[in-house]
């Protein structure tokens, strides 16, 4: 972006949007779509492409009337705005360092003359990060933002809570007191509204005995119930919430988003029968196709998310998350392998679906290599039998019998 020709700059000037940001002093943090920098003279972003954007900032301690609290592992808490921008849109964010209040001015006239006067202090949009950003937000829509966050122009921060969050998930954070939490639900006081469910009760009301045992391990009933009851029968909407919680975790250091992210990923990866026979859990006649598309998107999303995690994160900011990832990925691998092998005729993973999931799985394996992860292959060679289940098949009625001679 630093080597634009005059023709390229003019084309971007005519086609791109502009964000004017007032009030951040030198030494503050500013970021857009995952690209974070310490600013000097700064008046905003030019050549902003349309679509979903996460604008994040953290004022320098010298410009703020109070010390910014820290999040998990002592990470400074950033404020942020997740916004769907239209083509050629121009808007203003004003930050008041005294009151620490942020105002979004959407319907203002920003003339070309004013933008040209600020041009030297406006950073070009980081287009070299655009493809990565799109892969992290491919299923987040304007509807997702409104449903989860409340509205398109709402400023939140990394301490924002989630509606229905477990009682011990916020107050036990190191370094965060109840008093500090009182004013950290965003500037309008509302919590985030991600889908709510309890992984510890993953069976239907009235279930007893074997059914409770089965669905306490296999989360298929709970996944089907969440999709039907809360997501209009469309499982892909869980991927949009998984993506949104991840960017809040990674770029705003939100502990609450981490809890949401782990719950949704666990639900998707631990639902064995749902993959093999989705029509048992979803009422839609197109349920199998939707499920296949959802899990291809899940694997693609995981690959992009793992690639976006900064080096050293699992040693410092998010210890043991790597172990969580490996456990869930391995569980999903086994479930996918079995589902593709034994799926019924009406729920068949055809050749096209197998090819798509196989290609996505190769990407996921590649994403794990820089971390030293050995992610296994999908095993779908034998109908009705997953290669990884060889050892398990020797238990129970298939266990070897020792005969005395």
Residues of the chain with pLDDT under 50: 1, 65, 67, 71-74, 167-185, 188, 382-387, 389-405
Query: What's the CA gap between 315 and 304, in Å, rounded?
Result: 20
pLDDT of residue 62: 61
Helices 351-368 and 287-308, axial angle in degrees (round to 10): 20
pLDDT of residue 60: 85
> Hey, what are 385's tokens?
């039998």
Residue 98 is given by DSSP the state: T
For the beta carbon of residue 130, count every other beta carbon within 10 angstroms. Answer: 14
Which regions of 16-70 does DSSP assign to beta strands (E)?
17-22, 29-32, 35-38, 44-48, 51-58
**Ordered domains of the chain (ranges, CATH):** 14-129 (2.60.34.20), 198-394 (1.25.40.550)
For the beta carbon of residue 162, count every other beta carbon within 10 angstroms. Answer: 24
Query: What's the CA gap between 47 and 5, in Å, rounded?
Result: 14
b/e 384-395 (16+ beta carbons within 10 angstroms → b): ebbebeeeeeee
What count of residues does the chain have? Answer: 405
> Hey, what are 247's tokens?
């960017």
Instruction: Read off the pTM.
Output: 0.86
pLDDT of residue 155: 94
Query: What's the CA gap between 321 and 315, in Å, rounded?
Result: 9
Backbone phi and psi for residue 100, each to the nearest 5 degrees, phi listed first: 60, 30
Query: What's the CA gap between 70 and 314, in Å, rounded?
Result: 18
* Nearest alpha-carbon partner for 340 in 353, 326, 327: 353
Q: Where are the alpha helices (DSSP H) in 198-282?
A: 209-217, 220-230, 236-252, 255-269, 272-276
Q: Where are the alpha helices (DSSP H) in 66-141?
A: 112-118, 130-136
Query: What's the CA gap between 127 and 53, in Å, rounded?
Result: 13
pLDDT tens-digit series, residues 172-217: 444 444 444 444 445 545 899 999 999 999 999 998 999 999 999 9
pLDDT tens-digit series, residues 334-369: 999 998 887 555 557 888 888 999 999 999 999 999
């Amino acid at each position: 972006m630093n080597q634009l020709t005059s023709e390229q700059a003019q084309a971007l000037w005519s086609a791109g949007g502009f964000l004017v940001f007032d009030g951040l002093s030198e030494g503050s943090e500013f970021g857009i779509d995952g690209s974070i920098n310490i600013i000097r003279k700064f008046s905003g972003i030019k050549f902003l492409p349309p679509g979903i954007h996460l604008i994040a900032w953290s004022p320098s301690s010298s410009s703020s009337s109070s010390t910014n609290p820290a999040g998990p592992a002592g990470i400074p808490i950033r404020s942020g705005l997740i916004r769907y921008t239209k083509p050629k849109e121009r808007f203003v964010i004003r930050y008041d360092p005294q009151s620490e209040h942020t105002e979004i001015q959407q319907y203002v006239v920003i003339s070309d003359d004013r933008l040209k006067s600020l041009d030297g202090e406006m950073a070009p949009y980081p287009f070299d990060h655009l493809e990565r950003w799109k892969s992290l937000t491919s299923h987040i829509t304007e509807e997702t933002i409104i449903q989860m966050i409340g509205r398109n122009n709402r400023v939140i921060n990394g301490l924002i809570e989630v509606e229905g969050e477990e009682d011990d998930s916020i107050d036990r954070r190191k370094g965060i007191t109840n008093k500090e939490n009182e004013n950290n639900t965003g500037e309008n006081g509302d919590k985030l509204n991600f889908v709510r469910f309890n992984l510890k009760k993953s069976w239907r009301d009235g279930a007893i005995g074997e059914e409770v045992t089965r669905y306490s391990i296999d989360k298929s009933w709970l996944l089907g119930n969440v999709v039907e009851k809360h997501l209009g029968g469309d499982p892909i909407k869980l991927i949009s919430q998984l993506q949104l919680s991840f960017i809040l975790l990674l770029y705003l250091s939100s502990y609450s988003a981490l809890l949401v992210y782990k719950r949704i990923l666990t639900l998707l990866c631990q639902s064995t029968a749902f993959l093999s026979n989705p029509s048992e859990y979803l009422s839609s006649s197109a349920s199998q196709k939707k499920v296949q598309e959802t899990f291809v998107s899940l694997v693609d999303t995981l690959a992009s998310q793992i690639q976006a995690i900064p080096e050293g994160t699992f040693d410092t900011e998010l210890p043991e998350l790597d172990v969580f990832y490996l456990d869930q990925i391995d569980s999903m691998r086994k479930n996918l392998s079995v589902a593709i092998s034994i799926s019924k005729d009406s729920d068949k993973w055809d050749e096209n679906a197998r090819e798509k999931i196989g290609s996505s799985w190769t990407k996921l394996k590649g994403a794990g290599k820089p971390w030293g992860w050995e992610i296994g292959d999908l095993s779908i060679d034998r109908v009705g039998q997953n290669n990884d289940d060889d050892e398990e098949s020797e238990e129970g009625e298939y266990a070897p019998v020792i005969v005395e001679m």
